[in-house]
Amino acid sequence: MTTSTTTGRDPGLTAAQVAEQIAAGHANVTPGKSGRSVADIVKANVFTRINAILGVLFLIVASTGSFINGLFGLLIIANSGIGIIQEIRAKRTLDRLAIVGQTRPMVRRDGVATELASDEVVLGDIIELGPGDQVIVDGVTVESESLDMDESLLTGEADAVDKSLGDQIMSGSFVVSGSGAYRATNVGADSYANKLAAEASKFTLVSSELRSGIDQILKVITWLLIPAGVLTIVNQLFISQNGLRTALLGMVAALVPMVPEGLVLMTSIAFAVGVVRLGQRQCLVNELPAIEGLARVDIVCTDKTGTLTENGMRLAEVRIVDDAVTRDRVQAALASIAAHDPRPNASIQAVQEAFPDAPDWTTSAVLPFSSANKFSGMSLRDAAGASQGNWLIGAPDVLLDPASDTARLASDLGATGLRILLVATTDVPVDTPATGDTAVPGTLAPTALVVLEQRVRPDAADTIKYFESQNVEVKIISGDNARSVGAVGQSLGLGSPDTAVDARSLPTDDDALADVIAGADAFGRVRPDQKRAMVKALQSREHTVAMTGDGVNDVLALKDADIGVAMGAGSSAARSVAQIVLLDNKFATLPYVVGEGRRVIGNIERVSNLFLTKTVYAVLLALLIGGAGLLAKAMGWASISYPFQPIHVTISAWFTIGVPAFILSLAPNNERAKTGFVRRVLVQAIPNGIIVGVATFVCFLIVNGDHSTALGAYVGHLAVDPADTAASVANAALTVGAIQTQAATAALATMIAIAVYVLVVVARPYNWWKIVLLAVSAGMYVLIFLLPLSQRLFHLDSSNGAMMSVAAVCAIVGIVAVEISTRVLNGYLARRNRVREQRVHV
């Protein structure tokens, strides 16, 4: 888009001067928006604490020559490879979308204002500003027509700051009202805005309840690993009577399952896949926790114009209310106002389309539109210099006495869903300071009502119904007339013109304000500071609030909401503070964003349960067996060593955690997320882990008695006949080795059977693909334990019927215990949730 500048204004740089600045490196070039380079991504995914632990354990196993037991080393490749692929894919998605969603300033060069990409701006450029524009580089004001800037992103102060010629304009601020231009003095890395934008668009796994909860869990696990690991090492290397090779394999087998190697990986994958999926729907996620945050949202506050209604408007009629003023004069004034507005909003654009032929009038004074005042104005004169009136255009219910006939007429028209503007004249120039309680300069005389048609988006009703079905409340918060907002809400099933609340009557106390908001669905004449206060009042009642909007008047609320959602066609200021930008400008995209958030957090909670159950029973089993080994040593009993080899714990995770967790982490999940992630996961995982660990240990103690008996017979045989042949000794050793394998197989069968049932519990509620997943997982273990090839490959022996019977009984007892524990704990959590929800709604 290009526009010619007004004669006498600075024409900006020439093409030659721009080329010189680019050659000197003075362009507004910034690093990639998605943060880390590909090399950084690779490094961050390869050199992790978990990979280091697994790598050391793999080297220990490799030193024994039993490479089949080192299959868990493939987890290093999986952890790194999948994480790298998904993050690079997400990076590319963000890079592509960031280009589409970036701010495009109007830059004046060779006397022509052209819309350019932000990285094409150079030092010394003249950049034009209008309402809602964000300042992308630092500069100095060179033109100002009542230019007011909001610097809240820099200073935290919401009050607009007037900018005169020569005043500094800081990047990161945006225009509240008026227009003007500034000369760029700091670009690229020297500009604060570039640092702000780079930080906002960075692809990072930043702080969130989900990730902070996982970090807390991993810290606890790290401390548990120390005593369990030390006890296992002491028992395997110094107490058990096994050789060094067997001791090392047992030690590694005990330590590997303690590491929740896939938990962080699955979380990263779920977030990254979420970014890609939303990117395919033209949704730019500036901050990844926004995906998680939307899953927790229970109230959506939405603007009306441009969100629920389409941006474009059509002028339906101009209704004259002052018989002393002719229709031609009003239309001429409207055409001139529209023609001289440098940045017309949707209403003025509709007027301009209806009256494209403006008279040859100029402006002698300008009063820019303000969200606080709800009106703007121009003092006009003709080519001869004669005054053509001081005209105001704005909200009838702000400019008029509510008891007047014109105000009642405007209210009745607005109640049908139409947008109404008042055209009025004053007896003084519009830039005359107002006196008294009113912001209107001079004495106002209403002349006409401009009736505009707003079209409700065709998909808005379905979107509202979706939120209702998900127990998410929707509140319409708009700066328009309350009855007009109520009419739009009524068409969407949200209140009516009679129940809509005029925000000018809202209380200022948070509690009282929250009570009013709870009782209504539509609010009109809401000032920007009131939108912010309404969001805070809802948050004070423990609601998670999402705010959607597209205008400069939505910025404060977008910034303070738990999740800010901006429309791509909205102001650059709104897009800069929002965590999510809907580049397709479709409110109907929001349910997909909410659904993606619920999928991520709900599924991560599921798979966390699986991973932490494994960690709990691995730590407990290591402590129990290590403690039993120390006790046996002290009492002079037969030694007790860790029964499993690394390959055993590797296969035990294949179909109880690995494959199922990956599938479950990407599955649909529409359940609204709740706070307390860590508590819920631990409440389920700890009891399940204890049950698996204790049942496996009991099974091992029972079947280990047979192993001890065989070992005793072997030692006794050597004592009676020390001259026995080498063949007999070898045969006896093989017998003992076979019994050891049989005992380990029985204990492993118990552990896997109960772990599979934990998967059965976690997968609830069932559908066809979950049933298939569970059947395949159980079936694969049946094959592994029965097929001769897999038994030889994985060092298993299920031929001892007595031991396998013990394993079956222990497994059944463990499964029953898991089911009882799950039902009791689910009832406990359900009661806590009911109490919390009752407290929130009181």
Known catalytic residues are 303
Neighbouring C-alpha atoms within 13 Å toward the C-beta of 3: 14
Cα-based distances in Å from 316 to 392, 449, 585: 20, 11, 25
Q: In the block, which residue shows the tokens 């906002």?
A: 200
* Beta-bridge partner residues of 186: 138
CB atoms within 10 A of CB 382: 14
H helix or E strand, kind and range, residue 247? helix 244-255
Alpha-helical regions (H) of 258-371: 263-280, 289-296, 327-340, 346-354
Written as six digits, the tokens of 153 are: 């992103």
Alpha-helical regions (H) of 589-676: 590-635, 646-653, 659-665
> Counting Cβ atoms within 10 Å, is residue 769 exposed (0-12), middle (13-18) or buried (19+)?
exposed
Cα-based distances in Å from 254 to 229, 324, 427: 8, 95, 89
Distance, in Å, from the CA atom of 723 to the CA atom of 306, rounded to the nearest integer, reads 96
Amino acid at 92: R
Of the candidates 374, 370, 366, 415, the one whose C-alpha atom is nearest the C-alpha of residue 398 is: 374
Amino acid at 160: A
- Can you tell me whether residue 35 is helix, strand or coil? coil
Q: Is-contact 235 255, C-beta < 8 A?
A: no
3-state secondary structure 736-768: HHHHHHHHHHHHHHHHHHHHHHHHHHHCCCCCH
Distance, in Å, from the CA atom of 402 to the CA atom of 410, rounded to the nearest integer, reads 10
